[in-house]
């Protein structure tokens, strides 16, 4: 079973063909079948599939489990994740917030079980992987910071109002 990674944008994104000689990362349009299955998950109009060096989304993972003696080194996975992060950084800079949904093959119709807001810079590091049925909102660092501050402000306001109501 393979991890599938889908992204969505408000504007068309550049496609990147699968390269037999350097297969670290590619982006392709979705078939009508997958468009129909995934449309309700995204608020954005343009949907794409992104793949890693393995040809699927499984290659966007490293550092989760210790490597076995017969396993390939993680350099290819790190390269795939770096290219994904760079692609998303350019997309966010040009088109605004990008949405991403990661799931196992045949789970495209399942609802997301994990949700987070991140920046392209959060993709990568010492270890990286997508959770099953994970929905990400990927935006600029400044927008993410503003949202976190707003969330903190709302939490404080609700606490204050709850305390006043309890008096």
pTM exceeding 0.85? no
pLDDT band for 68, please (50, 70, 90 cuts).
low
Question: Does residue 87 sit in helix, strand or coil?
Answer: helix
Domain that holds residue 24: 3-140
Residue 165 in domain:
no
Cite the DSSP H helix spans in the chain: 32-38, 75-95, 141-166
Domain assignment present for residue 129? The answer is yes
pLDDT (tens digit per residue) in 81-131 = 999 999 999 999 999 999 999 999 999 999 999 999 999 999 998 899 999
Residue 13 counted as domain residue:
yes
Split into its structural domains, the chain has a count of: 1
Q: Are 44 and 8 spatial neighbours (Cβ–Cβ below 8 Å)? A: yes
| 74 located within any domain | yes
CA distances to 51, 67, 116, 121 from 71, in Å: 20, 6, 31, 27
Please report whether residue 29 resides in a domain. Answer: yes
117 within some domain: yes
Distance in angstroms (rounded) separating the CA atoms of residues 108 and 2: 12
Residue 26 CA to residue 55 CA, distance in Å, equals 8
| Count of positions (residues) in the chain | 167
Domain membership of residue 48 (yes or no) is yes
How far is it, in rounded angstroms, from Cα 127 to Cα 157?
36
């Amino acid at each position: 079973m393979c991890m599938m990674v889908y992204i969505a944008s408000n504007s068309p994104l550049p496609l990147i063909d699968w390269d037999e000689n350097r297969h670290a990362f590619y982006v392709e349009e979705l078939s009508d079948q997958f468009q129909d299955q995934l449309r309700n998950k995204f608020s954005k109009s343009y949907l794409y599939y992104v793949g890693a060096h393995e040809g699927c989304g499984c290659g966007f993972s490293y550092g989760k489990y210790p490597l076995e003696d017969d396993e390939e080194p993680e350099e290819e996975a790190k390269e795939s994740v770096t290219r994904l992060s760079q692609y998303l950084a350019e997309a966010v800079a040009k088109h605004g917030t990008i949405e991403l949904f990661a799931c196992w093959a045949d789970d495209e119709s399942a609802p997301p079980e994990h949700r987070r807001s991140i920046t392209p810079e959060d993709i990568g590091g010492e270890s990286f992987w997508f959770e099953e049925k994970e929905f990400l909102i990927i935006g600029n660092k400044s927008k993410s910071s503003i949202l976190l501050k707003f969330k903190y402000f709302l939490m404080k306001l609700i606490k204050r109002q709850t305390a006043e109501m309890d008096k």
